[in-house]
Amino acid sequence: MPRDRKLSSRLETLLDAIFEPHADRFSLYWEIAAELGPSANAAAQKKIRRLLEAKNEIGPGAAVLVACVLHLTGFPAQRIMHFLSLYLRGGISTSLFDFAVSFAMWVGFYVLERGAPLASWLFLPLLLLPILLFALGTTWLLSSLGVFLRDLPQLVGVVTTMLLFLSPIFYPATRIPAWAAPYYHLNPFVGILEAARGSLFFGTPPDGRSLALLTAAGWAVAWLGYAWFMRTKPGFADVL
């Protein structure tokens, strides 16, 4: 069968490897580039689109590699960005849906255990906004750095675990010794989580000044992360 109708078995394997979590994407890109011939471009595009359609979401590293490979096949750049944005947005939608289901379950248990919801719950969206902004800016930053620093995912896992235990999630911030409190409160999530605990369990509204400062800091982190991502974006294809 001619190459324009069927990919070689090696190229099939290489394209499948794009979505493996621990793939060496630097080497993989060049192997695909060496194996991919002009007559295989259309078949490779169809293969990648089938693989994407089988995914609910893709990570930023895989997204960058997919974009570069599609560019090799002559896929228009604007269509590449639009196509991938559908799958990256899918990951956000999945996370928001998981949050909504988890929160609904928590509300059910709260009502059974303590009774009617509190009016202070209405402040929850305002408390979530700084977290979303911090997460968005950090995601843009790490997505860019992950292209240039291939060992970054291992470090991110360690830092995320440390942040989990250095935030008042499993314990209140009042348990922190007085000598460590000034350093502990450098973590921006401490104020947000403490305010959320007060609003959800004790009916205490968040402090307006602190919330405004945290929201402003979140916007700054989001803007800086986006600016860094857009500044480094032209170099992604060269690195891969």
> What pLDDT is recorded for position 79?
66
φ, ψ of residue 175 to 5 degrees: the values are -80, -10
> What pLDDT is recorded for position 184?
92
Question: What's the burial of 86, exposed, middle or buried (CB within 10 Å: 0-12/13-18/19+)?
Answer: exposed
> What pLDDT is recorded for position 237?
61
The contacts of residue 144 (CB under 8 Å, 6+ apart) are 228, 229, 232, 233
Cα 53 to its chain centre, rounded Å, is: 19
The crossing angle, in degrees rounded to 10, of helices 124-148 and 208-232 is 20
Question: What's the burial of 39, exposed, middle or buried (CB within 10 Å: 0-12/13-18/19+)?
Answer: exposed
> What pLDDT is recorded for position 98?
83
> What pLDDT is recorded for position 104?
92
**What predicted TM-score, i.e. pTM, was given to this entire model?**
0.66
pLDDT tens for the chain, residues 1 to 240:
334 446 677 777 777 777 776 767 667 777 777 777 666 677 777 777 777 666 656 666 677 677 777 777 777 666 666 666 655 555 566 677 888 899 999 999 999 988 888 999 999 999 999 998 998 888 888 878 877 776 776 787 788 889 889 999 888 888 999 999 999 988 989 999 999 999 999 999 999 999 999 999 999 999 999 899 888 877 766 665
Between the alpha carbon of residue 118 and those of residues 110, 112, 122, 124, 172, the distances in Å are: 10, 14, 8, 11, 20
Between the alpha carbon of residue 168 and those of residues 133, 171, 175, 192, the distances in Å are: 19, 5, 9, 10
The token pair that represents 147 in the structure block: 């292209």
Q: Which residue has the tokens 């604007």?
A: 78
Report, in angstroms and rounded to the nearest whole number, the Rg of the chain calculated over CA atoms: 23
Residues 160, 99: Cα–Cα separation, whole Å: 18
Between the alpha carbon of residue 217 and those of residues 104, 134, 136, 189, 196, the distances in Å are: 29, 8, 12, 11, 18
